[in-house]
Structure 1
Amino acid sequence: MNKLDYIPKTKIKMIHIPKSYSFGIDSIILLNFAKMKKNKTLIDIGAGSGILSLGANDLYKLKKVTAIEIQESKANLLKENLKLNNIENIEILNEDLNDVDFPINSTDYIITNPPYYKISDNISNTSEEFLISRQEKYLNLDDIFTFANKTLKDKGKLFMIHKPNRMVEIFTKSANLKAKRLRFVSSKASTKPEFMLIEFVKNAKDGLKIEDPLIIYENGKYSKEMNEISGRI
C-alpha cells in the first residue's frame, strides 16, 4: 500500500511506493541549500518523483519549472504528484537530457541531484531503477555542464550535490560555470564529508565562499540545524 511523504517546510505531498527508490536526505539538504528568487524559471535535471521540482516551486513561488526525467516510471509518478497537489506550472519531459532542445540563455536556475558513481564503480547487485538513479548510465557530469552552460542565462545559477571525491573532476568540467558557494556535509563532526553542496554561477568572477560544514547527527540524533532543515523545529 502506498503512503504519503511530505516535503519539509511545505504542504506538498508525495506518493511513496514501497521498495521503490524515493528521495533521501541528500535531496532535502540540496533543496535547503538552493536559494532562488520569486517568479523565476527552473530546470530540474534527473527530477525523479519530483522533490526538488515541487519543493523549490512551492518555497520560491517560481514562474515555471521544467522537470527532466529519463525513467518513465519516475516521470509517471511525478505526474501523479502534480495532480495530487494541483500544480500546473511544472512541465515534465520524459527524455534523455541530451535529447532535450531547450532555448539558449533562457533559464534562471538549474538544480540537480545527479548519479554519484561512474559506470566503472562497482555498485551492482541492486535494482535497475537504483542503478539509473545513482550510476552514470544515462546522465553524467559532461551532459549536465554542457546543458547548463548552454541553457542558463548570464549569471544564472546551477545548484548541485555530489561526492567530495569527484570535486576536482567537477570543477574541471564546469567551464563557464564558476563555483561560488561550497558546503561540505558530514554525518558526524568527527567524520569526513559524505556530500558537497555547490552553487555555480554562469560567467561569474572568480571567488569561492566555503561555508561552515553541515553536520547531520549529534549524539545519535539529528543536529539542531538538521532539525531546522527537516522542518522539525
Structure 2
Amino acid sequence: MTKLDYIPNTDIKMIHVDKSYTFGVDSIILLDFAKMKKGKTLIDIGSGSGILSLGANAYYNLKEVYAVEIQDEKSELLEKNLKLNDISNIEIINKDLNQVDLETNMADYIITNPPYYKISDNINNKSEEFLISRQEKYLTLQNILDFANKTLKDRGKMYMIHKPERMVDIFKSSGNLKTKRIRFVQSTYNKKPQFILVEFVKNANDGLKIEDPLIIYKDGTYSEEMKKINGHL
C-alpha cells in the first residue's frame, strides 16, 4: 500500500510504501542545513526514494543531480517520484557507490544521510532494507569520504548528517575535506545531541564555525524553528 506526502516548503510530491523505511526528520533538517547555489551539480549518496535529491533540486533549481542508490526497490520508487513530478534533471545511479565512476572534480555539492552504525549483530532481526539503510553493510563512512575527495571540485561542499559518537571517525578520515560548519541537533534543550550536521569544504583554509544547536521539541511540540523547517509556519 502506498501513500503520498509533500516535501516541506515545496510542491514536490513523494510516494511512500507502507512498512518501508522512509525518510524522517533527519533528512528534513539536513535539507535545511545545506546551502547551495542555483544551476550547480549535486551528488546525493544513498538517495533512497529521493527526499534529498528532490528537495535540494526544488530549493535551489540545480543544473543536474546524480542520485546514487544501491537498492533496486528504492531506485524504482525514486523513478516513480521523478515521473510524478515531471523532473528530468535527476539521474538515478542504481549501483554500489564503490562501483560509481563519475569524473574527478565534477561536483559542486554532495549531500548524504548515510548509514549511521557500524556492522553489529544486535539488530539482525530487522529487515534487509533497514540494515542497508542504517548499518554500514555496503556503504561505509570511509567510502563516502574517499568518493567526495575524488569527485568534488576545489572548494566544493559536502553536507552530512550523522551521529555525534562517530565524530572522531568523521574528522580523522576526511582527507582534503575541511570541516567548516557544525550544528548539533537535540530533541530538547536539556538532552544530549542526537545528530550532528556537518559542512565540509574541499581544500579550504582552516577555520570552523559551531552554530547554535537545533532544538526539535519545546513543551511537547515542535520548536518554532522546527515548525518553520517542517513547513508548519
The letter for the 2-side match of 1:151 is T
Structure 1: how far apart are the matches of 2:47 and 2:121? Answer: 23
Match of 2:191 in 1: 191
Following TM superposition, by how much is the alpha carbon of 1:125 offset from its aligned partner in structure 2, in angstroms? 1.6
Following TM superposition, by how much is the alpha carbon of 1:120 offset from its aligned partner in structure 2, in angstroms? 3.0
Match of 1:50 in 2: 50
Structure 1: how far apart are the matches of 2:202 and 2:24? Answer: 28
Following TM superposition, by how much is the alpha carbon of 1:122 offset from its aligned partner in structure 2, in angstroms? 2.3
Match of 2:177 in 1: 177
In structure 2, the CA distance between the partners of 1:121 and 1:165, relative to structure 1 (3 Å rule), is: farther
Match of 1:83 in 2: 83
RMSD: 0.7
Moved over 3 A (4+): none
Match of 2:207 in 1: 207
Structure 2: how far apart are the matches of 1:45 and 1:218? Answer: 32
Structure 2: how far apart are the matches of 1:126 and 1:210? Answer: 35
Give the TM-score normalised by structure 2: 0.99
The letter for the 1-side match of 2:159 is F
The letter for the 1-side match of 2:163 is K
Match of 1:31 in 2: 31
Q: Which runs of 5+ in 1 are unaligned?
A: none
SS in 2 for 1:95: coil
Structure 1: how far apart are the matches of 2:2 and 2:105? Answer: 40
Match of 2:151 in 1: 151
In structure 2, the CA distance between the partners of 1:121 and 1:166, relative to structure 1 (3 Å rule), is: farther
Structure 1, 121-130 or 72-81: larger mean CA deviation: 121-130
**Which runs of structure 2 are paired with 1:49-198 in the superposition (5 Å)?**
49-120=49-120, 122-198=122-198
Following TM superposition, by how much is the alpha carbon of 1:105 offset from its aligned partner in structure 2, in angstroms? 0.6
The letter for the 1-side match of 2:232 is R
Residues 6-44 of structure 1: CA deviation (Å, up to 9, x unaligned): 100100000011000100000000000000000000000
SS in 1 for 2:190: coil
Give the TM-score normalised by structure 1: 0.99
Structure 2: how far apart are the matches of 1:122 and 1:40? Answer: 41
Q: Percent identity?
A: 71
Match of 1:9 in 2: 9
Structure 1: how far apart are the matches of 2:223 and 2:73? Answer: 35
SS in 1 for 2:197: strand
Q: Which runs of 5+ in 2 are unaligned?
A: none
The letter for the 2-side match of 1:129 is E
Residues 53-77 of structure 1: CA deviation (Å, up to 9, x unaligned): 0000010000000000000000000
